[in-house]
């Protein structure tokens, strides 16, 4: 195949993107389930604790890994996808950057909660401040991973993969369906029409979850489809 987009083999880029997609699951789930839970589920007791607690720091490190993996997926796929549609490929990179910007703000908010722990100020003041920072974190999640990411991973990436056929079209349908569903449910959360993290939003995330997981597994195990990839590289 001619016209290699970078020093890496095109299939190597595809498999790298798959590995990074799978890493996003680990680095996104672990902080919420394990490391952030002590602060977010019992904020008052967490803030008044005197002993050393590195849980928020570990969660922040995992989410910094998430930012790297998110941006990495876009950069790994961009040399291939730009041959299909360069403006949309740039749009995918931009969507990933915006998503990561929201994640970074959420990390700072939670680390600030850690700074309140064991403080000498009035207890009620510390708790109210902590609640405000936790609310900032919640909204960064709702607007970033809960909204912007589906424009990028669902709509833009799903359409690029549908057009290029780098993965089977039955798989890309999950993204093309899941993206609009989460955008709609995220808009409803912003407008207060449905609760954040409720049943309706949970159901709406299923196709997108399967799309991103399936895409990662497919690219790692199978790589990009050979004939469509060859056709893309000949452009």
> Whole domain around residue 31: which residue ranges?
10-223
Residue 187 in any domain: the answer is: yes
Q: Which of 145, 130, 142, 143 is nearest to 36 (CA)?
A: 130
On whether residue 40 sits in a domain, the answer given is yes
Sequence length of the chain is: 235
User: Would you state the torsion angle of the CA atoms of residues 102, 105, 111, 112, taken in this order, to the nearest 10 degrees?
Assistant: -140
Question: What value does the mean pLDDT take over residues 139-163?
Answer: 92
| 193-222 per-position pLDDT tens digit | 999 889 998 999 999 999 999 999 999 999
Tell me if 63 sits within 8 A of 107, measured CB to CB.
yes
pTM of the model: 0.89
The answer to whether residue 203 is domain-embedded is yes
* Res 123: pLDDT: 78
Which tens digit of pLDDT belongs to each residue from 23-63?
A: 999 999 999 899 998 888 888 888 887 766 788 999 999 99
172, 216 contact by CB (below 8 A): no
The confidence score (pLDDT) of residue 5 equals 47
What pLDDT was estimated at residue 7?
Answer: 54
pLDDT for 235 equals 74
Query: 72-120, pLDDT tens digit by residue?
Result: 999 999 999 999 999 999 999 999 999 999 999 999 999 999 888 876 7
**Both structure tokens of 35:** 């490391």
Q: Is residue 231 part of a domain?
A: no
DSSP 117: T
Is residue 234 situated within a structural domain? no
pLDDT of residue 44: 82
230 within a domain of the structure (yes/no): no
Q: For residues 65 and 164, give the distance between their C-alpha atoms in angstroms, rounded to a whole number.
A: 29
Q: How many domains does the chain have?
A: 1
Flag whether 218 is in a domain.
yes
Q: Which of 104, 102, 117, 106 is nearest to 54 (CA)?
A: 117
| Residue-level pLDDT at 62 | 96
Indicate whether 4 belongs to any domain.
no
């Amino acid at each position: 195949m001619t016209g290699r987009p970078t020093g890496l083999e095109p299939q190597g880029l595809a498999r790298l993107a798959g590995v990074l997609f799978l890493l996003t699951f680990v680095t996104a789930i672990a902080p919420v389930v394990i490391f952030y839970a002590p602060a977010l589920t019992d904020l008052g007791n967490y803030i008044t604790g005197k002993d050393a607690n590195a849980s928020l720091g570990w969660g922040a490190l995992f989410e910094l890994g998430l930012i790297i993996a998110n941006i990495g997926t876009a950069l790994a796929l961009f040399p291939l996808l730009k041959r299909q549609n360069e403006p949309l490929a740039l749009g995918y990179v931009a969507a990933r950057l915006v998503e990561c910007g929201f994640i970074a703000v959420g990390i700072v908010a939670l680390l600030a909660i850690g700074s309140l722990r064991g403080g000498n100020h009035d207890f009620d003041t510390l708790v109210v401040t902590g609640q405000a920072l936790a609310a900032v974190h919640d909204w960064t999640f709702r607007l970033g991973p809960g909204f912007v990411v589906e424009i990028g991973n669902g709509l833009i990436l799903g359409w690029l993969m549908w057009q290029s056929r780098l993965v089977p079209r039955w798989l890309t349908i999950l993204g093309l369906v899941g993206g609009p569903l989460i955008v709609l449910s995220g808009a409803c959360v912003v407008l207060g029409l449905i609760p954040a993290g409720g049943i309706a939003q949970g159901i709406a995330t299923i196709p997108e979850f399967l799309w991103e997981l399936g895409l990662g597994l497919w690219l790692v195990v199978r790589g990009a489809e050979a004939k469509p990839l060859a056709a893309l590289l000949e452009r």
